[in-house]
Amino acid sequence: MKVGILGAGKWGTAIGGVLEKNGHETFYRHHGDAAQPWPAGTDFLIVAIPVQTMRETLSRFPAPGVPVLSLSKGLEVATGLRVSETVRAVWPGTEAGALSGPNFASEIAAGLPAAAVVGAESEALAGRFQELIHNRSFRIYTSTDLAGVELGGALKNVYAIAAGLCVGMDLGHNAFAALLTRCLAEMTRIGVRLGGRPETFSGLSGVGDLLLTSGSDLSRNYRVGRLLAQGRALDAILAEVGVAEGVETAHSLYNLASIPAEAKPVACQVYSILFEGMPPRQAVAGLMERAAAPEIRGH
């Protein structure tokens, strides 16, 4: 197969390495290559570019006329759209899917054992993406819950910031475990309201990715939270860390009128810390002082 990769950052090149090990031919494009046509015989296109520049970048290129697989995780701030929805808005009629899971690019590039899920609305397309990437060191599962797969990957970035804040404030192991548990409940509740299936959030793109990105400095979103807890300014943190999709996804999630504030309390506090200057410990107090409630509620 001949596979194009739009975006030659760590994640795009890591997946490119997987494809090459699988015997596929790859080529790379970046935002400045729009004048170059897609090569004849291209079978798939993979996009691995920041979510907030996705629409602008895709708009520079003609529709590829082949299935597109997204590696990017986030929600577009202006619209709240998932990446596959943005792809289809810019390139109408394009078949789109998403790969998501607990994956650090450096470990994929090193060939360490890992797993992920590819989501597509049709089982046949999900299977084609699976055949493209699956190998003995990178186990790929399929799902027809494209919305759930994308939402798990996007929302966990917001909660990884919360986890970093928790660790940075030295709130203890009890608080950390409780926070992640409630974050999983919250992202599942939001994800279901936005069209995902609840079981998807118990899988690789949900709890799997949440666990990975909520406890390691390899996670940019976790680092953002930890450094915020130390009193660092957000602009200075992002200049050091680079693109952290959870920051703008928190903005997008906060703005989603279809999800009321009471359904996203952790996300709202993360937003307030990031964009309204709320002190992190005040945000913790706001969460702890809410009215008592049952643990299990309907979505």
Beta bridge partners of 5: 28, 46
65-118 pLDDT, tens digit each? 999 999 999 999 999 999 999 999 999 999 999 999 999 999 999 999 999 999
Q: Residue 127: what pLDDT? A: 98
Position 58 confidence tier, pLDDT thresholds 50, 70, 90: very high
Answer yes or no: is pLDDT of 130 > 80.
Answer: yes
214-252 pLDDT, tens digit each? 999 999 999 999 999 999 999 999 999 999 999 999 999
What are the residue ranges spanned by the domains of the chain?
Answer: 2-144, 148-288
Name the region of 80 (left: φ>0; alpha: ψ -120 to 50; beta: rest).
left
Query: Which architecture characterizes domain 148-288 according to CATH?
Result: Orthogonal Bundle (1.10)
Answer yes or no: is pLDDT of 46 > 90.
Answer: yes
Which whole number is the average pLDDT over 156-171?
98
Q: Where are the alpha helices (DSSP H) in 169-294?
A: 173-193, 209-213, 220-229, 234-241, 245-255, 265-275, 280-288
Position 160 confidence tier, pLDDT thresholds 50, 70, 90: very high
Q: Residue 240: what pLDDT? A: 96
Q: For the whole model, what pTM was predicted?
A: 0.96
Which whole number is the average pLDDT over 54-60?
96
Q: Residue 86: what pLDDT? A: 98
- Tokens 């809410």, residue? 290
**pLDDT > 70 fraction of the chain, expressed in percent and rounded:** 100
**pLDDT > 90 fraction of the chain, expressed in percent and rounded:** 96
- The active-site residue, picked from 2, 10, 21, 156, is 156
Which whole number is the average pLDDT over 168-178?
98
Which whole number is the average pLDDT over 27-34?
90
Task: Find out whether 123 and 142 touch, Cβ atoms under 8 Å.
Answer: yes
Q: Distance between CA atoms of 42 and 119, rounded to whole angstroms?
A: 21
Whether 264 is catalytic is no
195-214 pLDDT, tens digit each? 999 999 999 999 999 999 99
Q: Report which of 87, 83, 1 is spatially closest to residue 44, judged by C-alpha positions.
A: 1
**Please, what is the average pLDDT of the chain?**
96
Q: Residue 119: what pLDDT? A: 98
Q: Residue 32: what pLDDT? A: 84
Topology of domain 2-144, CATH? Rossmann fold (3.40.50)
Which whole number is the average pLDDT over 286-290?
95
Q: Residue 34: what pLDDT? A: 84
Which whole number is the average pLDDT over 18-40?
93
